[in-house]
Each structure stands twice: as C-alpha cells, then as structure tokens.
Amino acid sequence: MAIEALNAVSSNVIQTGDVKKVSTPYEAQQKFADFLKDSLNNVMKNEEHSNSLQAKMIRGEDVDIHQVMAAAQKSGITMQLTIEMRNKAVEAYQEIMRMQI
C-alpha cells in the first residue's frame, strides 16, 4: 500500500507541470551576475542613505536619531554580509585550485 501512495504523489507532480525549465550555463551565469549586481547596488544605496542621514544630523537638520542609527546599523550589517560572502567565494575558489586533477 505504501508503494501505491508514493506513485499517486509522483503522478500528481507530473500532471501539474511544476517542472522548472532547465537554463543554459550562460543563462545561469547571467542570472547570477544580475543578482550580484543588484545586491551590490543595494549595499551602495544603504550606505548612501546612511551617509545622507548622518550629514543632515551634523548640519543640524531635523532628523530623528533613531532613523540615523537604524540606517547606520543596516548599512553596517549589509556591508559585513557582503564582505563575508566575498570571503567565502575566495575560499571556495582557493579550495578548487588546490584540488588534484
């Protein structure tokens, strides 16, 4: 009985057509490059927003200190994440280069 239940589940997956299209290596590379580009742009926007709020506060404009601190923390966290991702990518590359062929 358990085997019949498994067949019923697998046939439902096939009938619904939830199979994703397999992309070519070039398409996957483009998607990854776009993802990295968007992520780095997001980091830059966070940094610019934080800097602009800090500059407004220094000039004495009406800026809530909570907004300035939250923007600074968000900017710092996104920068740390970016640096850690870069470090992991470099480590992975170095590990691949150490492999014996």
For 12-58, what is each residue's pLDDT tens digit?
A: 555 555 556 778 989 999 998 999 999 999 999 999 999 999 999 99
| Residue 55, pLDDT score | 97
Please state, in angstroms and rounded to a whole number, the distance separating the CA atoms of residues 33 and 41.
Answer: 12
> 65 falls in which pLDDT band (50, 70, 90)?
very high
Please state, in angstroms and rounded to a whole number, the distance separating the CA atoms of residues 2 and 57.
Answer: 67
| Residue 16, pLDDT score | 57
| Residue 77, pLDDT score | 96
How many CA atoms does the CB half-sphere of 14 hold within 13 Å? 6
pLDDT by residue (tens digit) across 47-63? 999 999 999 999 999 99
